[in-house]
Amino acid sequence: MINNTVIELNFFQVLLGYLFIVIILIIIRLRGLNKEKVLIIASIRMTVQLVLVGFILTAIFEEPHPLISLSAVLLMIVFAIFTVFNKFKGLLSRPIKKVIIISLPVGGLVALSYFLYMVIRIEPYYNPQYIIPITGMVIGNSMTGITLGINSMIRRFKDQKETIEQALILGANEKQASHDIINESFDTAIMPTLNNMLGMGIVFLPGMMTGQILAGIAPNIAIMYQIGVMLAILGGVALSTYLFLILGYRTFFNEQVQLISTENGG
């Protein structure tokens, strides 16, 4: 028989968890890794940010409103876009930034909307209890996929510069010359998500499913949600990354179908 009683953690119980930070600090100090400051800052930021998010989400869930849910979604998308920009600071041209601004929200929101309104069919349509956490997972993973796609595309255009130019000389257009790069970059971008799917349920239990089970949700219901969310994540990653790649490769060529400098991302 399943016990649906949730074990609540108090301040002192959570404080005991920080013993791991102390242990890791000792290991870092003994190994002379000089990462104490990073670990301490990361631990403090994580704690402060999560506590603040907890208060904010509590207030949002108690007083749900369409504008609040929409604002939360937009905020996550904007943050994801700027995170990608900062990751490749100085390496992205203006045209490729425009492609990111289009592809990340379009791909992510298509997958998110389908899952929320066709699969789960949430009510009301702005229910923040579903929209906010699922948006975070879909957009966050889409951001990671695009980041991997950008990194792969820039590197491959740089490494294969001569091969591409030879293909252009022989009469290939920019799409034909970039065909293998697009395929390879797409494969690189979605592989982490596919690897997670391969190991899910046998090698590890995913975070959302674990959280629901700990909250007292029946495992079979938690599994259904996890499968649905994982498929939504895969859809978001695949759609946003593919859209970026089929639009982004064009930024590496000029109007005369010549390969331009890859030092700044096209």
The domain segmentation of the chain, as residue ranges, is 1-63, 65-252
30 close to 91: Cβ distance less than 8 angstroms: no
Q: What are phi and psi of 156, to 5 degrees?
A: -70, -35
- Non-local CB neighbours of 49 within 8 Å, separated by 6+ positions: none
Beta bridge partners of 204: 200
pLDDT in tens, 167-188: 988 888 989 999 999 999 999 9
Pick the CATH number of 65-252 from 3.40.1350, 1.10.3470, 1.10.1740, 1.20.1640: 1.20.1640
pLDDT in tens, 102-124: 999 999 999 999 999 999 999 99
Specify the pLDDT at position 24: 95
Cα–Cα distance between 55 and 66 in angstroms, integer? 19
Confidence of residue 30 (pLDDT cuts 50, 70, 90): very high
Q: Which two tokens stand for residue 202?
A: 């046998």
Q: Which two tokens stand for residue 126?
A: 């702005």
Q: Which two tokens stand for residue 235?
A: 């859809």
Q: Whole-prediction pTM value?
A: 0.85
Specify the pLDDT at position 9: 81
Largest CA distance in the chain: 71
